[in-house]
Structure 1
Amino acid sequence: MSVVTKSGKEYVCLMEVHCDFQEERLRAIAKEFVGTIYQKPPVRSSVKRRVRKRKIYSLEVLEMEGRRVLMKISSEPGTYMRKICHDMGILLGCGAHMRELRRTRSGIFTEDTVVTLQQVSEALYLYRNCGEEDELRRILIPMEMAFCGIPKIIVDDETVNSLAYGSPLMAPGIVAFQGFKKGDTVALITWKGEGIALGKALVDSVSMGKRGEVVKPERVLMDKDVYPKAWKK
């Protein structure tokens, strides 16, 4: 789901510097990378190699041992950690490279909230072959959890099915909402908190009128006809 892949990330990164260095100098350089940086993707990357801006929310030096430096980095998606290591090495005057990388957070999901594919496989085996569903229930989470961090709009029951068919959300169908701006990705949910669709806001919430289109669905999540039709043939 794009709301997860496009959300903020956190990594633990092990960098190896190609020469001896002073700890104070490295920590000073690390501080320079916090904020907006310009970054060109490495040669081996899945995107076009052009300079682009990325935000580094935090860069903390955790440990140092010899020429190896352990860092925790929080950034917006699309930031290359190995390029940060490379650029820090340039500023140190001798080069550096990334030895190991571990993603510890993606959006609201952390290492404590995710499971391995092996755990999923074992849970499915127990359910299909033994009729035991406790393990499967333990590891499954509602898809609505991915909506945390983005604006949500509650719609009335009579509007749900039209959205499931891909119709835009009209102002009269809105029951409640969190503030949003034009162009924002918003989640459309029912009174019960069920996910209906993800869409793009066509107006700002502060200037929204009582009529007209408010959100254009971009990805419908709910099956058609789960809620009764409210329109006439």
Structure 2
Amino acid sequence: MAEWYVRQESETNPDFGSIPEKRSVEELLEKGMVLIDKPFGPTSNQVSTWIKEELDLKKTGHFGTLDPNATGVLPVGLNSGTRINDALAKADKEYIFEAETEEAKDKQEVKEALKSFRGVNKQVPPEKSAVKREEREREVYDIELLEVEDRKILGRVECESGFYVRVLIDQLGEKLDTEASMKELRRTREGDITEDETSTLQDVVDAYHFYNEGREKEIREVLHPIEKGIQHLKKIAVKDSAVNAVANGADLGSTGISKLQDGIKEDDMVAVITLKGELVALAEARMTSEQMYSAEGTAAELQSVHMDPETYPKRWKQ
């Protein structure tokens, strides 16, 4: 858990903005997200489209594609909530996979083979992928063998976004001198969102129907503010007096910072938030945490603004 450091004590005015979790259902439907436990069968796009139609939305978009035969964590942005795609789709992922080999292999041999994938891996995306088939490098942060039973292998992998587990299994077969194929794949985490937080498609549709009948309890359990999708990013909280400038597209100056998290490196994607926890903008750090704490200058350059500029009043001199 990242630690917070206070650059300058500041209070937030309750008359402006709102705590994300206390937004109205209407606001969450306009700029929020649902966390779907994707079922086996449909594509990620089909799941997204189905939510759009069932919830009477203008636009939806999923963050991080899952194959039709894969299940698990699939965040879906609602209306303008789709605009945080860059932050969440590129987040680290965790998967549980089941592979099957043509020949039964010794448990210790499989364990050592899997361990060898820890670190940076070279992969060529599979033929059915939507991206260009060029060799690229992706990191595996952790990988472990959960179980071996005859020719079946159950494993877990934590990896960088864009890592293909299907390719991993092909390469595992090569290391074990046999053929290996993927039988099941489940995404258990994306960024800081885990499978325990997801809802089924039916849960979401039922909750929306109850909402149309005047009940909010169920839909509040499945709707989330967009801030849910930036939990994994390092954050910089700005003073109320700086919010309007940033929401109008101004790069963040260090003097506008009230507090910040440790571990920020130059060029990191960071979330610029209010003292109430509202996402103002996504930005690219131009200083480290240490520099932001004490130096003057541009702390972060904006990539995208996610707050209406009228939310907080102007506080800077023209």
Same fold (TM over 0.5): yes
CA deviation digits over 1:22-71, x for unaligned, max 9? 22222221121122222222222222222222221222222222211111
1:167-220 residue CA offsets vs partner (Å, 9 max, x unmatched)? 111222111112322111111111222211111112223234654322122121
Residue equivalent to 2:265? 181
Given the alignment of the two structures, is residue 164 of structure 1 paired with residue 247 of structure 2, yes or no? Answer: yes
Q: 1:86 to 1:210 in 2, by over 3 A?
A: closer
Alignment of 1:1-233 (within 5 A): 1=84, 2-128=86-212, 130-179=213-262, 180-208=264-292, 210-231=295-316
Q: Quick one: structure 1 residues 57 and 204, their matched pair in 2 at CA, closer, same or farther if it must change by over 3 Å?
A: closer
CA gap 1:24/1:232 in 2 versus in 1, 3 angstroms? closer
Asked if structure 1 preserves the Cα contact closer than 8 Å seen for 2:140 and 2:157, the reply is: yes
Alpha carbon RMSD of aligned pairs, Å?
Answer: 1.8
Q: 2:224 and 2:101 mapped to 1: Cα distance? A: 41
Judge which range, 17-26 or 185-194, deviates more.
17-26
1:55-94 Cα shifts (integer Å, max 9, x gaps): 2122222222221111111111111111111111112212
Aligned residues: 232
Name the aligned partner's letter for residue 171 of structure 1.
S
Distance in structure 2 (CA, Å) of the matches to 1:126 and 1:56 = 43
Q: Displacement of 1:226 after TM fit?
A: 0.8
Structure showing greater relative contact order (alpha-carbon pairs closer than 8 Å, 6 or more residues apart): 2
In 2, the alpha carbon distance for the partners of 1:26 and 1:198 equals: 42
TM-score by length of 1: 0.92
CA distance in 1, matches of 2:103, 2:295: 65
Alignment-mate amino acid for residue 300 of structure 2 = V
Structure 1: runs of 5 or more not aligned? none
The 8 Å contact of residues 96 and 154 in structure 2, kept in 1 or not, is answered as yes
> Who wins on radius of gyration, i.e. which is larger?
1
Percentage of matched positions with identical amino acids? 39
Q: Which amino acid aligns with 2:303?
A: E
Q: Output the CA distance in 2 between the equivalents of 1:145 and 1:181.
A: 22
The verdict on how the C-alpha distance between 1:232 and 1:206 changes in structure 2, with shifts beyond 3 A counting, is closer
Cα distance in 1 between the residues matched to 2:104 and 2:198: 38
Equivalent-residue separation in structure 2 for 1:174 and 1:25 (angstroms): 52
Is 186-195 or 22-31 further displaced after alignment?
Answer: 22-31
